A and B are shown apart, each in its own frame.
Chain A
Amino acid sequence: MPRMSLTVNGKAVSADVEARTLLVTLLREHLKLTGTHVGCDTSQCGACVVHVDGRAVKSCTMLALQADGARVLTIEGLAPEGGALHPMQEAFRTHHGLQCGYCTPGMIMTAIDLVNREGHELDEHTIRAGLEGNLCRCTGYHNIVKAIAAGASAMKGKRRAASAA
């Protein structure tokens, strides 16, 4: 079995994986980082979005081996366990940007990628266009859009949302 190593949430890890192992399978099943979700497994829903070398990607549509040597950031890497939430997570809580929470990790990783690319002042159109690859079956998106606008400005001045972990 091929051996690979990468950095996940700032920690160096190695794993033996079958070549066909998806990145999301490596994260959830090998590394037990179950914050990243699988909603569709067909590249449609965005529940599985993580950052690889600073870019938001669908981890169900990437082989683990494609991330060999890369820096991966997952929802678990945004805030220290038991510590204060990341401003984007906090904004989702304050603005009721989630109901069942299934889509939320992917929404938040996508939102932070959007801030990294487009800055802290995001209008509604930019946010909705940025969420084209993320589906939510509960909220109707309205509060997600509000949460992202608020989270984006709250991130201003705070630590540059770990595009690199």
Chain B
Amino acid sequence: MYDFTFHRPADVKKAAALLQSSEEVKLLAGGQTLIPTLKQRLAAPRNLVDLGAIEDLVGIERKGRNVVIGAMTHHATVAASAVVMKAIPALAELASHIGDPAVRNQGTIGGSIANNDPAADYPAACIGLGATIITSKRKIEADDFFTGLFETALEPDEIITQVSFPLPIRAGYAKFPNPASRYALVGVFVAERGKKEVRVAVTGAGESGVFRVPAMERALVKRFAPKSLEGVKVDANSLVSDLHAGAEYRAHLIGVMAQRAVEAAEK
């Protein structure tokens, strides 16, 4: 790892100012992705701005029909939150299967979303639930936020401060983890958001990251049950093939995981 200057601002304003005034600067959240990247010298920022001392960025709150989670909230905190478990149990369940316990104790929701790894779990929840990403500058709908592989709508000097999840009627998440990394080989988040709106969001399989499956959504609007998905095929052409799994296999897994996610939502 190359050396850098370490900054530890006490509030978001100061952090944003540092992003603007420094050259070759990067934010540090839990470091569970960034530190391995620095070690491999895939990134070599000259300035690192640690968000770890900003208390305002941590916390979980029920605000009306939304659950609002601070960007620096650890995965383990979301997984164990009584508020989340009551309002959106599928989200707590998702957080409880990210990586391993030590990763969950240190990794954050803001870092995960900003990173937009195509096999990460939270992007599927954001798209599935129709979340709003709140930043130091504006509010961004999840649909507009994830723009491609490791790409987001964030500007270089923009900081995620909160993620707001509207309460669904019901929701479920099912993931087939890569047995070595625990990342999703395929993960499917299903949410019934209204009488006429169901969303099916898939992670781990798309060539440009998380995506929705309209054919499944239509089938589930008619009847929200695992059976409705029988025979609904996903085209393997746009899916990832790599050493972990072929596109055909992933296409098949999407069907299986979607059914399990609906089953989980029914409970």
- Inter-subunit contact A55/B5 (CB<8 Å): no
Does B139 have its Cβ within 8 Å of any Cβ on chain A? no
Residues of chain A within 8 A (CB-CB) of B38 are 20
How far does the alpha carbon of A112 sit from the alpha carbon of B163 in the complex, in Å?
32
Does A41 have its Cβ within 8 Å of any Cβ on chain B? yes
| The one of B1, B3, B101 that contacts A114, using a Cβ cutoff of 8 Å | B101
Main secondary structure of the interface of B (DSSP, over half): mixed
The chain A residue with its CB closest to the CB of B35 is: A61
The chain A residue with its CB closest to the CB of B77 is: A55
How far does the alpha carbon of A110 sit from the alpha carbon of B50 in the complex, in Å?
25
- Inter-subunit contact A130/B35 (CB<8 Å): no
Count of chain A residues with a beta carbon within 8 Å of a chain B beta carbon: 28
Number of CB contacts from chain A to chain B under 8 A = 74
How far does the alpha carbon of A81 sit from the alpha carbon of B225 in the complex, in Å?
60
How far does the alpha carbon of A18 sit from the alpha carbon of B48 in the complex, in Å?
13
- Which of B102-110, B126-134, B189-197 lies at the interface? B102-110
Does A138 have its Cβ within 8 Å of any Cβ on chain B? no
Does B31 have its Cβ within 8 Å of any Cβ on chain A? yes
Among residues 91 to 130 in chain B, which have CB atoms less than 8 Å away from a CB atom of chain A? 99-103, 105-106
The chain A residue with its CB closest to the CB of B47 is: A19
Residues of chain B within 8 A (CB-CB) of A57 are 102, 105-106
| The one of B1, B3, B4, B36 that contacts A43, using a Cβ cutoff of 8 Å | B36
Interface residues in chain B, defined as those with a beta carbon under 8 Å from any beta carbon in chain A: 1-6, 8, 28, 31-32, 35-36, 38-39, 48, 50, 52, 74, 76, 80, 99-103, 105-106, 182
Seed contacts A55-B74, A57-B105; 19 additional CB < 8 Å A-B pairs: A18-B3, A19-B4, A19-B48, A20-B1, A42-B36, A43-B36, A56-B105, A57-B102, A61-B32, A63-B6, A63-B35, A65-B6, A65-B8, A66-B52, A117-B80, A130-B101, A133-B100, A133-B102, A133-B103
Interface residues in chain A, defined as those with a beta carbon under 8 Å from any beta carbon in chain B: 2, 18-20, 22, 41-43, 46, 49, 55-58, 61-63, 65-66, 68, 110, 113-114, 117, 130, 132-134
